[in-house]
Structure formats: C-alpha cells, structure tokens
C-alpha cells in the first residue's frame, strides 16, 4: 500500500513529505464515502467552515474553495481534485492557491480494508518549506493538521457506524 500510492520520489530539498496512517473502527464503504466526498470535506475536517465547488461536478478535475476557521493562520484555500478512483479507493488533490503557507501542496489518500471490519486510511503529502521555516517545522505543522483530520475522521465514522446500529 505504502509504495504503491504514497511513495513520493525525487523530493527537492525545499519540500517535505510524510505519510500518516489512521485505523478506523468502521466499515470501509462508510469511511470511503466520507473521504471521497470532495464537496464536503467539513464532514471530518473540522477547521473548514464551508466548501463551494467552483468548477466541475465533484469528480476528477473539480475545483473547490474552502473557508477556514478564523483562529487558523488562513481564511481560504482553493483545491483541485487531481485523481479519484472508487475501485482502488484512492484520491489525490492539490492546493492551487489560498492565503496560507501550504505552497505546492499535494495530498494522496487511500482507504484499505483491515480484518475485523476495520478500515485503514493513509494520507501522504508533499509541500514546500516556506522561507523562515525548517523542514522539521513544516513537516510537524502539516502532519499535525492531517493527523487531527484523520483522528476526527475516525471519531465521526465510528460514531456514525454506532448510530446506524
């Protein structure tokens, strides 16, 4: 799984990359339905207050504009869905502009079934290291946000699964 979807090759010195893994105590179809919904990232990305599709129908090539909570060092981000494969349960998206410091950000997310009805979500990214930051600082900041999102995804999916039973 890791090398197939999340191997980032030839990373220049001005970028950092990491892969985060989250186990979710919910069935794969439920988790994938939440992850793949490009038009509603706020379902589990709680720092997002709204999302508007600007181009496309929510599938590959679509562009969304998200508004971010005011207590973060940004207010908006424009993102493009670069790839979506429902059979392999993989998506890739890029941040194409915004008032933040996530320049040249690209994310890959894959969802996998684990024994016992659990699901594994993997998210990897590549992002520029902005002037004034070290590689370690940029990776810590970006990984912290993704980790928070993945933890929230696990909580929301598990709660939804329990509520439906």
pLDDT band at 3 (very low <50, low <70, confident <90, very high): low
Dist. CA 106–CA 108, nearest whole Å: 7
Give the model confidence (pLDDT) of 91-130 as tens digits: 999 999 988 888 999 999 999 998 888 999 999 999 999 9
Instruction: Tell me which residue of 74, 54, 76, 50 sits closest to 63, measured CA to CA.
Output: 54
The predicted pLDDT at position 27 comes to 93
Mean pLDDT of the residues in the chain: 91
Q: Is a pLDDT exceeding 70 seen at residue 81? A: yes
- Least reliable range by pLDDT among 60-64, 114-118, 160-164: 160-164
The predicted pLDDT at position 7 comes to 75
The predicted pLDDT at position 14 comes to 94
Give the model confidence (pLDDT) of 21-58 as tens digits: 999 999 999 999 999 999 999 999 988 999 999 999 99
Dist. CA 124–CA 146, nearest whole Å: 9
Dist. CA 82–CA 62, nearest whole Å: 8
Q: Which domains, and CATH codes, for the chain?
A: 2-164 (3.30.530.20)
Q: Is a pLDDT exceeding 80 seen at residue 165? A: no
């Amino acid at each position: 799984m890791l090398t197939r979807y999340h191997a980032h090759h030839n990373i220049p010195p001005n970028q950092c990359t990491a892969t985060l893994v989250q186990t979710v105590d919910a069935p794969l179809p439920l988790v994938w339905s939440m992850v793949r919904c490009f038009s509603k990232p706020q379902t589990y990305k709680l720092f997002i207050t709204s999302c508007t599709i600007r181009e496309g129908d929510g599938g590959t090539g679509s562009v969304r504009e998200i508004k971010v909570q005011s207590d973060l060092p940004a207010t908006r981000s424009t993102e493009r869905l670069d790839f979506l494969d429902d059979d392999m349960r993989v998506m890739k998206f890029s941040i194409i502009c915004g008032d933040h410091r996530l320049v040249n950000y690209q994310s890959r997310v894959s969802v996998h079934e684990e024994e016992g009805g659990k699901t594994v979500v993997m998210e990897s990214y590549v992002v520029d290291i902005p002037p004034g930051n070290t590689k370690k600082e940029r990776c810590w900041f970006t990984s912290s946000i993704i980790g928070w999102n993945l933890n929230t995804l696990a909580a929301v999916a598990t709660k939804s699964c329990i509520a439906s039973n």
